[in-house]
Structure 1
Amino acid sequence: MIVAHAPDGTPLAAQPEGTGRPLVLLAGQANDHTWWDAVRDDFPCTVTVDYRGTGASGKPDAPYSTPLFADDVIAVLDELGIERADVYGTSMGGRVAQWIAIRYPERVRRLVLGCTSPGGPHAVERSAEVRRALMRPDARETLADLMYTPAWRATHPGPYRTLGDPAMPPHARRHHLRASDQHDAWDALPRISAPTLILHGDDDGLAPVANATLLAERIPDARVHVLPGARHGYFEECRPHASELVRDFLA
């Protein structure tokens, strides 16, 4: 683990691993780097990051945003001496990845956006039923069902690393939720110049698959691959196919 510092002084923990061309892996909302534990070994050289508010990073009680998270990732790359990298973000990590590619085009060689959306009024939101279910006392079980199909869960009982960092303080959880909800890159998406691959499961109740089409329509020359029957955790449940798609694209 290394520790970088954001422009505001917040310590940012990152976990570089392997050798070769670096791939930055960005997790979902309220998750630390362990989101990627199940698939990280599929890529030869990776950099994971604990967002501010999660893991070993600082947890300031101040507003967070997806552009701020993007700036934090660049601070990590600067600390590591990485001038240019591939970036793969899933869920809220895909929203952060959009801003990295928009604001720092010279730092991104290729971009992969998984199970994410453009945000704002143009995005296709999850249903009211899903929103209500996520507010119930058994929300953790509901979230697991939204991440993985029943058939996969039957043979993979967990524990799952994608259901949130349990050590996060309440204020950080609130700031993460607000950052993801307020994301809106719609107007800026056409400025993305990095070759882009969009991956999505067609049974994703957290980020409906229609968002993949919206992103592809806004990002120049983006290509889309939809995984049949997959939910929000496609990258884990559909391993190794999903990882192979990413490797082939990055190659």
Structure 2
Amino acid sequence: MHYAMTPDGVKLSYQVSGDGPPLVLLQGQANDHRWWHSVRGDFDGAYRTITLDYRGTGDSDKPDEPYSTRGFAGDVVAVLDELGVERAHVYGTSMGGRVAQWVAADHGERVGALVLGCSSPGGAHGVERSNDVRRSLAQPDRAAAERALLELMYTPAWLATHPGPFHTTGDPGMPAHARRRHLAASGGHDAWDALPGITAPTLVVHGTDDVFNPAANAPLLAGRIPGAELELIEGARHAYFEEFREVASPLVLEFLSRA
């Protein structure tokens, strides 16, 4: 286990594996680095992959204070500084894509290539999930709510043959205050005005059947970031990178090889 200290005194856990140019992998809201367990090996052969547990998750500190996607981006830079990495590719999915937007916008000199998966620009321009989706996640029957989340992440056919455990549905060790802080951070994201200033070569990836973070956000991001490429994975839901890894991982690797 390795740790980095942020300028405001928060201890962050980070993990490194593989060999090659550095590639930062950023996971979704209220999740730790295990989000990447099932696909990390796809990238370790060509890259030195770097993950971190966001503040509030995993083995990182969990202060009860406001979090933001822009603040999480600063935490990513703190980890890069600890490792002595001047420049890295960044691949963020879900809220990790929101964090990655700020890494590229605020710290462009540190980013080689950028991949934004199942993400959104947020704010007034982002396309929000429907009220039906919100209600399915907020129902009082927790088992039913957890099943609803799984069905937003994966197709029924995949779930029928993959009983878990699942690493994309939240860090079970998070305290309640950290879950609330993560929800507020993701919900408060708005990088619309900053996106045109991103200079890193960018790939936007999304599943066509994603209603958790609606697929309509993908062309918004790609159209807002200069020169961005857009790839939609047919039939994929929110966890496209895991269920459709045989499509998604080669897609990302090919893009990074050109960057």
- State the match for 1:9 in structure 2: 9
- State the match for 2:247 in structure 1: 241
> Separation in 2 of the partners of 1:207 and 1:47?
25
- State the match for 1:91 in structure 2: 94
- State the match for 2:58 in structure 1: 55
TM norm structure 1 = 0.99
- State the match for 2:207 in structure 1: 201
Shift of 1:192: 0.4
Secondary structure in 1 aligned to 2:169?
Answer: coil
> Separation in 2 of the partners of 1:239 and 1:91?
16
For 1:116-131, what aligned pairs fall within 5 Å after superposition?
116-131=119-134
- State the match for 2:135 in structure 1: 132
> Separation in 2 of the partners of 1:106 and 1:140?
40
Q: For residues 16-41 of structure 1, what are the alpha-carbon distances to aligned partners after superposition, in whole Å with 9 as ceiling and x for unaligned?
A: 11111011000000000000000000
> Separation in 1 of the partners of 2:246 and 2:32?
22
> Separation in 2 of the partners of 1:72 and 1:85?
14
For 1:21-32, what aligned pairs fall within 5 Å after superposition?
21-32=21-32
- The total of aligned residue pairs comes to 251
Give the percent of matched residue pairs that are identical in Structure 1 and Structure 2. Answer: 65
Q: For residues 103-159 of structure 1, what are the alpha-carbon distances to aligned partners after superposition, in whole Å with 9 as ceiling and x for unaligned?
A: 000000000000000000111110000011110132211110000000011111111
> Separation in 1 of the partners of 2:121 and 2:53?
22
> Separation in 1 of the partners of 2:104 and 2:237?
25
> Separation in 2 of the partners of 1:107 and 1:38?
27
- State the match for 1:144 in structure 2: 150
Secondary structure in 1 aligned to 2:13?
Answer: strand
- The equivalent position to 1:250 in structure 2, one of 242, 253, 256, is 256
Shift of 1:240: 1.8
Secondary structure in 1 aligned to 2:138?
Answer: coil
Shift of 1:205: 1.1
- State the match for 2:115 in structure 1: 112
> Separation in 1 of the partners of 2:61 and 2:215?
33
Secondary structure in 2 aligned to 1:172?
Answer: helix
Secondary structure in 2 aligned to 1:186?
Answer: coil
For 1:186-225, what aligned pairs fall within 5 Å after superposition?
186-225=192-231
Structure 1 stretches lacking a partner, 5+ long: none
TM norm structure 2 = 0.96
Amino acid at match of 2:125: H
> Separation in 2 of the partners of 1:188 and 1:215?
11
